Structure 1
Amino acid sequence: MENALNKMKVAILVTDGFEQVELTKPREMLDAQGATTHVISPQRDEVKAWNSTDWGQTVKVDVPLDSARPDYYDALLLPGGVMNPDSLRTNKDAVAFVKAFFDARKPVAAICHGPQLLIEADVVKGRKLTSYPSLQTDLKNAGAEWVNEEVVSSDGLVTSRKPDDIPAFNKAIVELFSQQSVEA
């Protein structure tokens, strides 16, 4: 399945406080599968990761959010971390960016607290998904069917609970995103 995502362009939307491995591990996998990945952020130059219990590495921003065009990308990755999606969900441009992928029926992958952005974009109603357990009430109240599973793939959306689930999350991302690259 090497290069299953050849020529696919994947946006990774984050701001300061994203969980480091929830960006780095999926991005490494996407790059290894032949995708082109761009870190998109309201920050202009770099974003700072949260690494489990303290600040982690900084990551270069490839495209500032105000210059990013959802129609340029084939898929979207939403890493979690508590601070990252909590901040992004208050940014109308970030919410609109996420919603554009659903409106265009492009695949989206979200892990941990990443689904907070999906609630704000009003795209979870009627969808089966998972997240970090502390979001289950918010997701249910927004109309989602929340389940406590390692990974859930449903209707163009892959979700996962936490960093321990990244191997299963990565596998599900390749499966879903490769369907999009075949259709493209």
Structure 2
Amino acid sequence: MKDLSGKKILIMATEGFEELELTGPRDLLGEAGAEITIASVDRNPFRGRVKDEPTIWVQPDKLIGEADAADYDALVLPGGVINPDQLRTNEEAIALIKAFDEAQKPLAAICHGPWLLVEADVVKGRKVTSWPSIRTDLKNAGGEVVDKEACTDGHLITSRNPDDVPAFCEAIAAAVAG
């Protein structure tokens, strides 16, 4: 993986994230030298899932409303069904995604995380991938859906599932390192 020393990566998540889709990028990109910040809807710890079974707790570093795209080199959006479904109704979360997109900074979503890209209206005309059950949503939003472990279209990076985390992180690192 590329050296990410001096780079800052924001992970946005809440209750019900898929464990490996948050911990994988946090750990792998952190080991490559990136400073990782986790933003959530409130300051309370929130719980992950593995196949819908509750697992680890994560303590957020800041509120989503306190995060500014100008302060980070990339935004990572883990999946899980519950996590993105909750965040897609959060105006601050959607505004932050739009800010990363407008700044053309790496914007990475995995599994059900691309639901947030649909909500932020940043999919039209782009190649994307996701968990199979939301691919119709991506198509309806104007995306060109492909089936591969990591899909990069400009600054937009998407992946399908927890098995794709290593390729997802490599794609994020390549985009962040420039």
**TM-score range, shorter-chain basis?**
over 0.9
- What is the match of residue 64 of structure 2? 65
How far apart in 2 are the matches of 1:47 and 1:69? 22
How far apart in 2 are the matches of 1:123 and 1:159? 12
How far apart in 2 are the matches of 1:96 and 1:8? 22
How far apart in 2 are the matches of 1:56 and 1:143? 35
What number of residue pairs does the alignment pair up?
178
How far apart in 2 are the matches of 1:85 and 1:42? 12
| Structure 1 residue ranges (4+ consecutive) displaced by more than 2 angstroms after TM superposition | none
- What is the match of residue 48 of structure 2? 49
Unaligned runs of 5+ in 1: 180-184
- What is the match of residue 81 of structure 1? 80
Amino acid at match of 1:59: V
Q: Which has the higher contact order (CA 8 A, sep 6+)?
A: 2
Please show how residues 14-29 of structure 1 align to structure 2 within 5 Å.
Answer: 14-29=13-28
SS in 1 for 2:5: coil
SS in 1 for 2:37: strand
Alignment identity in percent?
50
Shift of 1:52: 2.1
TM-score by length of 2: 0.96
Amino acid at match of 2:43: R
Unaligned runs of 5+ in 2: none
Shift of 1:166: 1.2
Deviations 1:74-115 (A, max 9, x none): 110000000000000001111001110001111111100000
How far apart in 2 are the matches of 1:46 and 1:70? 23
Amino acid at match of 1:137: T
How far apart in 2 are the matches of 1:60 and 1:110? 20
- What is the match of residue 120 of structure 1? 119
Amino acid at match of 1:146: V
